[in-house]
Structure 1
């Protein structure tokens, strides 16, 4: 029988660190070795796998190649399974370790999600949930390119290759300076808002939010497009540059100098989904998704399990649809 070459868990960890740091120097420092030794180790790993280049040096640093990305996908799974195997021997099977990279399409976090994440952190203190809200790249692209593990986003942003379920429902409210004349009312009407200057946020990678708000306000409204993040939008409103629409999650932060009012003549409510790659095989991600579906104590036990959907190609005229799947995830 032909002898198998040995590839250690540390070799797989080296690939993870290189992908994370994108620098041989920084990776060597984190791993406690020299650049020369790390470079030789990487060459040895490539030779063992029969691949010419897992990483390439360029102007943006040491970047992983397409074959390297496929290897890293398996490496992450093997490292996670190795941790679980060691946990079996030590009697700490539920002592998960690792990081979940969670993207937020519409920050900040909804208070209900904050509660769920707090419960997760209490149950799994050796894990970390990193929150990401990039402005320059779409959340869908980050998911598909493995820049993040999961994301909270609107279902319209889903694409083929992603699975999701409805996580919560969000409401739209009006935000204005705290001394604005409309603050004298408990609720406002759309016609009241249309008479004011309204700031509508738009980003370069995704204009769904802007299109939703423009459709809600109608052609009679006085619109000014705002290109920037939510903090700059709130600063604009506080300086009397206009009014805006926002989510209840922002209202619940209670930013000073601002007032929030419900809009009486519309039902401005929409779903937000938790999405992840349909082909994901990461054990920690699987536990996290199951927890967000079923592991929250205050969710009624009689409540039907959320359905999981996968975006699938239908036809050229109707490019994407939803295919319902069972809840058996990451099996």
Structure 2
């Protein structure tokens, strides 16, 4: 039996992209070449790995092969890192997952910086909710993620895992129409918004806003739950209610709204990290170091006060 890396790379690309055509675009190959590589792998294993449907799915054997294929390519990347360290260059494609707020408020600036600072590294962005982002990082769909408040328990379970880089401490703010009676204040107390209809996004923010209400001694009773951030902002513009957003959203706020400091105060940590249970993509270490140098020293630092991952400074 003779397996090779192009076969495994094609197999993983089809699984991650959900089809042969998308995988071909991802790899910069023809669709027929990707189909041939996967078919030759299946011939070597004497069994199908994929159910050719829309989207493509793995067979039972394919599901068992998948993590080993990811580990094989991860080992190759580690070898590439050794060579890159020796020559002072780094190339590759890093798949980065993040939530919509982070994608819209923080990631564009990072992408622009990385494009200028590390032009040989390509970053592809995947947007999802907090649960999807964590799952993509765990199963290998993403090589990296900006996680929100990653739990310390992960570090205890995998004491040798890289902690990642804290990109920002993201404080929560009140979002109000500019004609709101409190819009000209330097800050706003949550208790002063008790009579305003509350709009909320039913993702990670809801738990924090619920906690804020509990700390303020208020009943948490949102009038509307809105998943899409743009819809949430438009509803505040329309005077339907007020909401609570994080500081990273500021660049998205139109001129007829204000984002004000909020009491009680609370914040979240935004951490750029790789997987806990597998080696990092070699290029991610370079991106993490680059991000740490680009962002303010008070915001970009090793997560949980621990050293930068090996290979970064």
Is the TM value for this pair above 0.5?
A: yes
1:97 has 2:92 as partner: yes
Which one of 51, 54, 63 corresponds to residue 56 of structure 1? 51
Superposed CA deviations along residues 242-264 of structure 1, whole A, max 9, x for unmatched, are 0011111212334233122222x
- Note the 1:29-178 alignment, pairs <5 A: 31-32=29-30, 34=32, 39=35, 41-48=37-44, 50=45, 52-58=47-53, 60-63=55-58, 65-77=62-74, 80=77, 93-104=88-99, 106-108=101-103, 110=105, 115-135=109-129, 137-155=131-149, 160=154, 164-165=163-164, 166-178=166-178
Higher strand share: 1
Give deviations 1:22-55, integer Å, cap 9, x for gaps.
3345656863363xx765543432344x463332
Residue 275 of structure 1: which of 273, 276, 279 is its match?
Answer: 273
Corresponding residue for residue 201 of structure 1: 201
CA contact (8 A) 2:97 2:133 kept: no
- RMSD between aligned residues: 3.8
Normalising to structure 1: TM-score of the pair? 0.72
Whether the 8 Å contact between 2:168 and 2:300 is mirrored in structure 1 is: no
* Contact 2:271 2:303 (8 Å CA) reproduced: no
Q: 1:121 to 1:178 in 2, by over 3 A?
A: same
Which structure 1 segments of 5+ residues have no match?
310-323
Residue-by-residue CA offset, 1:186-209 (whole Å, 9 max, x unaligned): 322222111211112213xxxx42
* Stretch moving more, 187-196 or 240-249: 187-196
Structure with greater contact order relative to length (CA < 8 Å, sep ≥ 6): 2
> TM-score if structure 2 supplies the norm length?
0.76
Paired residue total: 298
Q: State the 1:177 CA deviation.
A: 1.5
From the superposition, tell whether residues 53 and 290 of structure 1 become closer, same or farther in structure 2 (CA, over 3 Å): farther
Query: Are 1:81 and 1:283, in contact at CA under 8 Å, matched by a contact in 2?
Result: yes
Stretches of structure 2 lacking an aligned partner (at least 5 in a row): none
Conservation of the 8 A alpha-carbon contact between 2:187 and 2:260: yes
Cα distance between partner residues in 2 of 1:72 and 1:140: 20
Higher mean C-alpha displacement, 174-183 vs 38-47: 38-47
Q: In terms of mean alpha carbon deviation, does 284-293 or 167-176 score higher?
A: 284-293
1 CA distance for matches of 2:231 and 2:295?
Answer: 37
Match of 1:187 in 2: 187
CA 1:46–1:285 in 2, change beyond 3 Å: closer, same or farther?
A: farther
Alpha-carbon distance in 2 for matches of 1:308, 1:157: 10
Q: How many Å separate the matches in 2 of 1:305 and 1:173?
A: 23
The structure with the larger Rg is 1
* Alpha-carbon shift at residue 12 of structure 1 (Å): 3.7
SS at match of 1:272: strand
Q: Name the CA distance, whole Å, in 1 between partners of 2:14 and 2:248.
A: 37
Distance 1:14 1:258, change over 3 A: same
Counterparts in 2 of 1:289 and 1:260: CA distance versus 1, 3 Å = closer
Q: CA deviation at 1:233?
A: 0.5
| 2-structure distance, mates of 1:33, 1:269 | 46
Higher helix content, 1 or 2: 2
Is 1:230 aligned to residue 229 of structure 2?
Answer: yes
Structure 1 pair 236/67, CA: closer, same or farther in 2 (3 Å)? same
**Aligned residue in 2 for 1:252:** 251
In 2, the alpha carbon distance for the partners of 1:28 and 1:215 equals 46
